[in-house]
Amino acid sequence: MRRYLLNIMVISILTGIPSLIPAQSTYSNSLSWSVEDRDFSREFLRNYLDELYTQDPTADTEIQETDQLLVQVQIGPQGGATLEEATVVSRGGAYNTLSAQVLDSLDQSQVQALVQRRYAWDYLSGQQLNKVAVTGEIINVFQERNNKQVRDAFWWTHRRMNLGALSQGFLRIIPKWAFMYEFGRQDLGYPAGVSKTTNVGLATEIFKVFATFPVPYLFEIGGGGNAPLEGSYGGGLKFDTPRFGGSVSFQDMLWRSADDVAVADSENVVYNEFAGQVFYSFTQRIGTDDEDAGLHIPVGSMRIKIGVSYIQMVYGNSYINDADEFRYREQDRTDRLNNIQAMLRAEYASEMNERYFNAWKFMTQLNVGVTGAGGVQIGLSRTLIEWLSVDLMTAFYWSGIEFTRPDNEPYNWNPGWYIIPTVSINL
């Protein structure tokens, strides 16, 4: 109680903070489930039918002993559970509610055994929940599982190995964590090709910690762009919980050496010195499994992320000095207001099969700065056969960033348009 009062008090003071708090309880005044112990449900329904025919020998009912039994129980305010409703589902999918009058006439020890749930049971599926009038707030196990699947599909892999040629890869030698690599920074709006970086590190269920390295320019199709973001050495941390996620990362040009991959244009070097991001997310079930529906979205989950990024861009020139050392001379940097970007991202993954494969994955992300600058990414992934999937990522930036040199000459860095196809191997 003391803990609760304290929580309430502080939450009241910190206006706005409550939205950060995940739901800690899902109190419901009713419970519902499906009886999975077939022996138990058969015996119960046999007794029910016996009582029904005792009361009305001419009763006409579709209920059979082999039907699936669904139970709904009411929890009283002082505790104590009473049977509110019992429904059966026939093999053909028909729902029939058991008669309350007959249930009341049954030996109450049988009803009590049904209510006490000392047998194998399971949660109601979404369809069953719709058919059975359930009151109270529901956290459904199937929904939580689906939410997690779409999150995991973009966070890492449920397979032992997922290696993308130009995107990201995971090697889960030890199941609890994985070696990871990631070209570019898709989460910040600069995927492979647009950012000459690769992050290499460890991924766990809840966070990733990585070191950043400069990599050569990958490739660009589409043209019209300027040089991509240059890369250097650095590091970062990302996390992704059911509702909240974020990242913090940095790079330092001081750590580059003359032996590293060359910058594309030494007179105009733009890189992301540091970045931070936080987002809120929620997931929705979408799609249909009706194969006769023509072109349709397969059943899956869509996760929406809404967040804000702080991305510090630095402009300068580089040179190799007399001691054969790489040197970077900063000329300008984006101001704090222009570092802030709103982020809206949608991730869709079709339902994962029992071998942990998603047939389809789709994402799109919009980044918009306070001055209207920004870009959009769209990515699509299709698993062709279990071990091979093809991915296509496109990124477009409708405006660049204007820097000013010390001599007041402007330099407009415009990333342009990129199409990045790749393949992934899943084992």
Partner 1 sequence: MLPGILPLRWFKLVLLLLCVVYGRHVFAQVPEPLDQRRFDAWSVGYTPYRLMVENAISGYRSVNNDAIPPVEPQDAVVLVQSRVNTNELYQLWYGTSAGGYTVISGDEVRWILGETLQEILLEKNQYYSIESRVPFLTRESQPVLDYLERKTHWTRTDFEIGIERSGYYFSDQGGIYYQWGEGLLNRPYNLMGLTKIGIATPAFKFGILTNQFMDMVTGYVGYRSYGERLAGANGGFGSFTFNQYSGEFGFTRNTTPPLEDGQPGDPVNYIDFYSLGTMNTGYEVSAGIEAVRLRLGAAVYRVAHQQIDSTGTALVDQIKNGEPADPTYSGGLLLRVDFATPLVDGNYPKFEGAVQYLTGTGLFIRGTYNVNSVFSIPVTVVAMTNKASWDAQYGAFLGFRVHLGLN
Positions in the binding site for partner 1 (CB under 8 A): 2-3, 6-7, 10, 14, 17, 20-26, 31, 33, 36, 73, 75, 79-81, 115-123, 139, 141-142, 144-145, 147-148, 152, 158, 172, 175-177, 202, 204-207, 209, 234-237, 239, 241-242, 246-248, 250, 252, 254, 273-274, 276, 312, 321, 327, 333
Instruction: Tell the smallest beta-carbon distance from residue 299 to partner 1 (Å).
Output: 17
CA–CA dist 146, 3 (Å, integer): 33
Measured CA distances, 16 to 10, 147, 206, 266, 268 (Å): 11, 25, 25, 46, 43
Of residues 232 and 377, the one with the C-beta less far from partner 1: 232
Of residues 13 and 295, the one with the C-beta less far from partner 1: 13
Reference 240, options 338, 130, 154, 340; nearest CA is 154
Question: Is there a contact between 382 and 357 (Cβ–Cβ < 8 Å)?
Answer: no
Measured CA distances, 44 to 58, 80, 210, 218, 410 (Å): 21, 21, 57, 67, 82
Question: Is there a contact between 235 and 211 (Cβ–Cβ < 8 Å)?
Answer: yes
Instruction: Tell the smallest beta-carbon distance from residue 21 to partner 1 (Å).
Output: 5
**DSSP character at residue 311:** E
- 3 state DSSP class of 42: helix
Of residues 80 and 372, the one with the C-beta less far from partner 1: 80
Instruction: Tell the smallest beta-carbon distance from residue 318 to partner 1 (Å).
Output: 14
Sign, CA torsion 287/288/293/294? positive
283 forms beta bridges with 303
How many degrees, rounded to 5, is the angle at CA 237 between CA 200 and CA 317?
A: 70
Instruction: Tell the smallest beta-carbon distance from residue 294 to partner 1 (Å).
Output: 32
Question: Is there a contact between 330 and 314 (Cβ–Cβ < 8 Å)?
Answer: yes
Phi-psi region of 97 (alpha: psi -120 to 50; beta: other; left: phi over 0): beta
Of residues 77 and 92, the one with the C-beta less far from partner 1: 77
Instruction: Tell the smallest beta-carbon distance from residue 58 to partner 1 (Å).
Output: 35
Amino acid at the residue 393: M
Of residues 294 and 406, the one with the C-beta less far from partner 1: 406
Q: How crowded is residue 383: how many other Cβ atoms within 10 Å of its Cβ?
A: 18
Of residues 138 and 302, the one with the C-beta less far from partner 1: 138
Of residues 139 and 388, the one with the C-beta less far from partner 1: 139
Instruction: Tell the smallest beta-carbon distance from residue 126 to partner 1 (Å).
Output: 12
Q: How crowded is residue 257: how many other Cβ atoms within 10 Å of its Cβ?
A: 10
Amino acid at the residue 329: R
CA–CA dist 42, 45 (Å, integer): 5
Instruction: Tell the smallest beta-carbon distance from residue 38 to partner 1 (Å).
Output: 12
Question: Is there a contact between 415 and 400 (Cβ–Cβ < 8 Å)?
Answer: yes
Of residues 114 and 395, the one with the C-beta less far from partner 1: 114
Instruction: Tell the smallest beta-carbon distance from residue 156 to partner 1 (Å).
Output: 10
Instruction: Tell the smallest beta-carbon distance from residue 419 to partner 1 (Å).
Output: 32
Of residues 155 and 181, the one with the C-beta less far from partner 1: 155
300-320 vs 269-286, strand pairing mode: antiparallel
Instruction: Tell the smallest beta-carbon distance from residue 324 to partner 1 (Å).
Output: 14
Of residues 76 and 93, the one with the C-beta less far from partner 1: 76
